[in-house]
Amino acid sequence: MNKYLGFGRLTADPESRSASGNSFTTFTLAVNEKVNKQDVTLFVNCAAFGKVADVISRYCKKGNALIVEGPIRVRKDNNGNERWGVSVDRITFAGGNQGGGNKKQNNSRSQNQNQDDGGNDQYPAGDIPF
């Protein structure tokens, strides 16, 4: 089973693009954890597609807390180095409106966003943008 489930905050505003008529959004999630009694931050590269990408690009910005779910994907960059990231197929708005904006609006949108349009299968493994 290949499934990542993580809670963190967006490190910057999400970047949305379109390729071959398919929309996708990339973002980095800062995830905190304790290692040997020290706080450590892991920066997780994420890519979302279709409806999930549209929701993220429309409602999320730097500092917003999200729970993301999806498989971990590994690819080689132009230098031959392996890079990993999460191909997000589900998000949950986690509140904690540290990034600003209208807290009341964020609470009204605190629900799971499922992607029903075929998900990440429309992009071959080498074309996932992280």
Q: How many CB atoms lie within 10 A of CB 63?
A: 17
Rounded alpha-carbon distances, angstroms, from residue 100 to 13, 59, 78: 12, 12, 37
The pLDDT, as a whole number, for residue 106 is 39
pLDDT tens digits, 81-123: 999 999 999 999 997 555 544 433 433 333 344 434 444 444 4
C-alpha span between 22 and 71 (Å, rounded): 19
pTM across the whole model: 0.72
pLDDT tens digits, 9-36: 999 999 999 888 888 999 999 999 998 9
Query: Which CATH number describes the domain made up of 4-112?
Result: 2.40.50.140
pLDDT tens digits, 114-130: 434 444 444 454 555 65
The pLDDT, as a whole number, for residue 96 is 59
